[in-house]
Each structure stands twice: as C-alpha cells, then as structure tokens.
C-alpha cells in the first residue's frame, strides 16, 4: 500500500497538494482541501476520503488548519468504492484517475459555497451541500458559515429550516458555545409545541 500511496502522492503534488503518505492538503480559493487515504482494519483494502474546510468558518473542534484531516473538515465526501492494497497496473490507473476526478469535482463544487450562501435559499443550500454528514451537522455548518460572512438572515433561515424538517430536540441539546448554536437553540425553543416528524440525526441528508 505504501508504494501505491507514494505513486498517487506524486500525482497529487503535481496538482498543488502537500503532504506525505496518507494525507494531502492544499488551499484553493476560500477552502483548505484535504485528500486522505484510510485503511480498513478488518479487510485488506482502503478508501479515499475528501474534506473541505472554508477558511471563513471554524473547523470541527477548531482543528489546526495546517494539520487538517478530512474528518476535521465541516464538509466531507467519502468515496463509496474500496480499493485493494495490491493493484495491477490497469487497476492503479483507474484508481489514480478516480482520485483526480473526484477531488476536482468535489473541491470545484466547494468553491461555489461563498456565492451560494449569498444568493441561494436555505433549502437550495441543503440540496447543494448536504452530503457526507448528518442533517443536523450540515445545518450547523451552513448556518455558521453564513453567519461568519455577515448573512445573519440566511443563518436564521437555515435554523428555521432545520427545526421544521428535523424537530427541535437535537438543536436544544447542542452545546451552545457560540452565537450560531444559540441561534439554533432559540429557533428550537420557539417550535417546541409543534408536532414534527422524527428523523435519525445521523442519517445523511438526501436533498429534496
């Protein structure tokens, strides 16, 4: 596996990434882009995980941007396909091409986030960026990004959408250590008496 990662690492460095072995990152526009390779403990395989961290919003746990891993990023995409640790030349070519195309598509899409926060409705924002993580985490991520850019009304709209779609309980239980989480909790309290559908908070958002 180390030899495979060294070979694909050379390709990533040619695309502007820095790093060694299993984790590579670069800054592109408004975001730190991360490509991680994560092995399976019980199977002789590994998978690719992409993460994007807008520089205008805090990372999960306020992780150091210089040492960011994909799981620290607020926007994530985990490749569905797993790859064997030993590959033929043709399979490696497919793997390398998939890494190149997946990171280009994902990170290119993330570059549209700043503009989207300014012009798109909360529902459209969830449709565009609600992937790779849970519904609640996506709402908090987008609301925090909107708030940090001065789009306070958009942050309120996202909070309202989250409470309407998911219900108030999860937002009330969140640690309210910043203005955005207090905002979400405030919207949740306003809706406590409403009958809302119950959704598993760890279910990835599927859009509309």
Residue 65 shares a structural domain with residue 88: yes
Least trusted range by pLDDT, from 29-33, 90-94, 136-140, 180-184 = 180-184
Residue 91 shares a structural domain with residue 131: no
Query: Among residues of the chain, what percentage have pLDDT more than 90?
Result: 26
**187: number of Cβ within 10 Å:** 21
CA distance 106 to 113: 12
CA atoms within 13 A on the CB side of 185: 11
CA distance 105 to 60: 23
Output the pLDDT for position 43. Answer: 72
Residue 91 shares a structural domain with residue 178: no
**Boundary residue ending a domain (111, 127, 153):** 111
Per-residue pLDDT tens over the stretch 124-181: 998 888 877 777 778 888 888 888 888 988 988 888 887 777 766 665 555 444 555 6
Task: Kindly state whether residue 131 falls inside one of the protein's structural domains.
Answer: yes
Residue 163 shares a structural domain with residue 79: no
Closest CA to 168 of 140, 202, 191: 191
pTM above 0.85, yes or no: no
pLDDT bin (cut points 50, 70, 90) of residue 200 is: low
Task: Kindly state whether residue 208 falls inside one of the protein's structural domains.
Answer: no
Residue 61 shares a structural domain with residue 145: no
Residue 88 shares a structural domain with residue 6: yes
Residue 46 shares a structural domain with residue 101: yes
- Given a cut of 90, whether residue 192 has pLDDT beyond it is no
**Boundary residue ending a domain (111, 138, 159):** 111
Task: Kindly state whether residue 199 falls inside one of the protein's structural domains.
Answer: no
Query: Domain tally for the chain?
Result: 2
Residues with Cβ within 8 Å of residue 5, at least 6 apart in sequence: 21, 22, 37
- What range defines the domain where residue 48 resides? 2-111
CA distance 84 to 33: 25
The residue ranking higher by pLDDT, 62 or 1, is 1
The residue ranking higher by pLDDT, 199 or 62, is 62
CA distance 143 to 185: 12
Coil, helix or strand for 45? Answer: strand
- Given a cut of 90, whether residue 17 has pLDDT beyond it is yes
Task: Kindly state whether residue 204 falls inside one of the protein's structural domains.
Answer: no
**Boundary residue ending a domain (61, 79, 111):** 111
Mean pLDDT of the chain: 78
């Amino acid at each position: 596996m180390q030899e495979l990662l060294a070979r694909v690492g050379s390709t990533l460095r040619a695309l502007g990434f820095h790093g060694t072995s299993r984790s590579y990152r670069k800054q592109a526009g408004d975001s730190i882009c991360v490509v991680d390779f994560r092995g399976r403990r019980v199977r002789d395989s590994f998978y690719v995980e992409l993460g994007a961290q807008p520089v205008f919003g805090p990372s999960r746990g306020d992780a150091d941007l210089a040492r960011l891993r994909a799981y620290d990023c607020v926007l994530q995409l985990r490749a569905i396909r797993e790859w064997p640790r030993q590959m033929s030349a043709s399979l490696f070519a497919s793997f390398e091409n998939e890494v190149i195309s997946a990171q280009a598509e994902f990170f290119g899409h993330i570059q549209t986030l700043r503009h989207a926060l300014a012009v798109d409705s909360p529902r459209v924002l969830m449709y565009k960026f609600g992937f790779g993580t849970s519904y609640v985490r996506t709402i908090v991520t987008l609301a925090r990004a909107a708030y940090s850019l001065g789009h306070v009304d958009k942050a309120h709209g996202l909070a309202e959408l989250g409470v309407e779609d998911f219900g108030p309980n999860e937002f009330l239980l969140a640690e309210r250590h910043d203005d955005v989480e207090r905002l979400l909790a405030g919207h949740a309290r306003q809706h406590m008496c409403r009958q809302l559908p119950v959704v598993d908070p760890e279910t990835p958002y599927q859009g509309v």
